[in-house]
């Protein structure tokens, strides 16, 4: 479900109009999160670390209203919840798009993730299914081969886009901490640095295992 935002009374109406006129309305940043507890929890539960941190990312996204805003034909809508379209790799090093539905429970989320991972392994190409065009998602990619400090995305400027894009890199040991870079790119007409900060705060809570009931 989605609800329209009343643009006339919206406190971001000028921000939305200003940045929506840009050729490139997205901005992005990279910050580290501490993942040692999440890594240990994955081992204790016998599930992949990927499943644990992807679930944490999606739970955090759904806690930040601005990350659930989407622009459709010039109107802003707020979705009740959003899912994840993650790029998943194959043994031949190609990747495909996926659609993993949101579930507050890690085990339930894992079932959807496992089904999509299997579907990708049995496919070729990008899997440009109708789910690839959904707006009620965030775009996600993992780059586990290196710990990056910056990241850009391929974008078609002629195609209207307002979907947040999140990427994670290789984790690294720094003293007693296990740090993982997370890149966030969002439409500036819908979100500011403040909202990205809210996301990182929620994500760290989720990775620490101090989840909300959402």
Q: Is residue 214 part of a domain?
A: no
Model pLDDT for residues 164-195, shown as the tens digit of each residue: 999 999 999 999 999 999 999 999 999 999 99
What CATH number should be reported for the domain holding residue 87?
3.30.559.10
Return the active site residues.
Answer: 188
First to last CA, the chain: 16
Burial 168-185 (b: 16+ CB within 10 A, else e): bbebeeeeeebbbbbbbb
The residue segments making up the domain with residue 14 are: 2-208
Please state, in angstroms and rounded to a whole number, the distance separating the CA atoms of residues 153 and 168. Answer: 13
For residue 89, the cross-strand partners are 95
- Say yes or no to pLDDT of 212 above 60: no
Please state, in angstroms and rounded to a whole number, the distance separating the CA atoms of residues 150 and 181. Answer: 9
Q: Is residue 194 part of a domain?
A: yes
Model pLDDT for residues 107-150, shown as the tens digit of each residue: 999 999 999 999 999 999 999 999 989 999 999 999 999 999 99
């Amino acid at each position: 479900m989605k609800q329209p935002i009343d643009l006339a009374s919206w406190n971001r109406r000028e921000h939305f109009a200003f940045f929506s006129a840009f050729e490139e309305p997205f901005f992005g940043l990279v910050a580290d999160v501490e993942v040692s507890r999440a890594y240990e929890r994955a081992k204790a539960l016998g599930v992949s670390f990927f499943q644990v941190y992807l679930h944490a990312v999606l739970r955090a996204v759904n806690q930040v209203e601005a990350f659930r805003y989407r622009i459709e034909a010039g109107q802003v809508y707020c979705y009740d919840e959003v899912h994840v379209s993650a790029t998943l790799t194959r043994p031949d090093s190609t990747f495909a798009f996926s659609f993993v539905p949101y579930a507050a429970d890690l085990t339930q989320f894992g079932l959807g993730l496992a089904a999509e991972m299997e579907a990708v392994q049995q496919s070729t190409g990008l899997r440009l299914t109708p789910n690839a065009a959904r707006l009620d998602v965030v775009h996600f990619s993992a780059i586990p081969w290196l710990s990056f400090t910056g990241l850009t995305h391929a974008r078609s400027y002629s195609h209207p886009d307002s979907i947040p894009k999140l990427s994670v890199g290789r984790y690294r040991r720094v003293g007693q901490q296990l740090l993982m870079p997370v890149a966030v790119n969002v439409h500036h007409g819908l979100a500011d640095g403040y909202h990205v900060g809210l996301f990182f705060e929620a994500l760290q809570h989720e990775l620490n295992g101090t989840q909300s009931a959402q």
